[in-house]
Structure 1
Amino acid sequence: MILRPLPSLSRSIALRIPSSASRRHLFGASSTRSHQNRIFDSIRQPNDLHTLMLLSAAENRPLITMWSASWCSTCQAVKPLVKSLIEDEGVGQAEGGLGFTEVELDSTLIGDLGVKYMITSMPTLLAFSRQEAQFDTKLVKPEQMKDKEFLRNWLLNEARRGGREGGGGGGLFGGLFGR
């Protein structure tokens, strides 16, 4: 049995390549990034934090975590200010956006998560960039967290990091790779 191509397929096929003027760019060439800030539900178990870190890393969006407990009155005073800056004022959106969540250290399911991330006082603000805790920029002083301008600048700096620098805060090797 001999197989032969159908006559309709034996014609030559012309390929059309669009001119450079009519090409559409499928990938953004712009260096400006603008995403909405996101406020997530509170973290009550380690898997919740892991999931949010993966999501934030996929979006190149730093994740701001506020480590607190229900009995911490300072935490209850700082949390509305942080949420207001991120949610209402949109601090960090022009730089690519921020994610925010509260980690409830008094949850029965939280385990030793606070020990893993060296949380020694409450409240603590700790940013994650590409799933890496940014220990060098961690905030632990309540007076800094209550200072709206200081907090705004801290959030802007974390947003500018934009998920680009991991490795504990972009130290010696943090900025050398992946730019």
Structure 2
Amino acid sequence: MVIRPTSRILRATRLLRASIAPRCQLAIPIARSFSATKDWKGRNRIYDSVRRPDDFQSYLLLSSSSKTPLITLWTASYCSTCQTILPLLNELVSSGVGEDEGGVAFCEVEYDANDILTSDLGMRYMITSMPTLFSFDRGEAQTQTRVTDPRKMKDPEFMRAWIRTEARRRGTGGGGSATGFLGGLFGLPK
């Protein structure tokens, strides 16, 4: 006895094959010309707000692996100045400021979130005022370029220049803890 599929089963099989087939095809390599220079144009990334230390560590690792500086804005829910600076910074990063220099990643760290407050993140990075604009490159805190003055953070031109400066790092470090006073004592570059 031979069982023949109904037209309904045949239609479902054809639909299934049509939806799977494009994903199963092999990718054809694209020929690219050889170049000795790097493509410096990067893409900016905006991450979700940080409310747990694990999220912060994940973003640090992601930015380190992609050699993209991570810009963090440390805010608190009670800080009205933070609520005016955050949209400006979001707009600048999403509009592509810094992409020509290599790109940046950005996240807001909600300092008054319960898990962040109970961790040592604020103490580790010496966050003493809200808002604080802080950059990380290769996972290292860039203490020399920290911004705590809200008047500077509200100035779009200052923020554009600051983001571009941070984007130029591209995993090269500089300005971190190893280049300060102690770095000079131990023969590291100033």
TM-score, normalised relative to structure 2: 0.73
CA distance, structure 1, for counterparts of residue 127 and residue 178 of structure 2: 20
Return the offset for 1:87.
0.4
Return the offset for 1:34.
1.4
1:107 aligns with 2:95: no
Q: Secondary structure at the match of 1:91?
A: coil
1:41 aligns with 2:48: yes
Give the counterpart of 1:51 among 51, 54, 58: 58
**Number of equivalent positions:** 152
Number of the residue aligned with 2:97: 91
Number of the residue aligned with 1:153: 161
Q: 1:14-67: per-residue Cα shift (whole Å, max 9, x none)? A: xxxxxxxxx975xx6323311210000011111111111111011110000000
Q: Secondary structure at the match of 2:103?
A: coil
- 1:170/1:116 Cα in 2 relative to 1: closer, same or farther (>3 Å)? closer
TM-score, normalised relative to structure 1: 0.78
CA contact (8 A) 2:145 2:175 kept: no
Instruction: Percent identity, please.
Output: 50
Return the offset for 1:167.
6.8
Return the offset for 1:164.
1.1
CA contact (8 A) 2:68 2:170 kept: yes
Q: Secondary structure at the match of 2:114?
A: coil
- 1:108/1:41 Cα in 2 relative to 1: closer, same or farther (>3 Å)? same
Q: Secondary structure at the match of 1:158?
A: helix
1:66 aligns with 2:73: yes
Q: Secondary structure at the match of 1:109?
A: helix
**Higher share in helix:** 2
One-letter amino acid of the counterpart of residue 148, structure 1: P
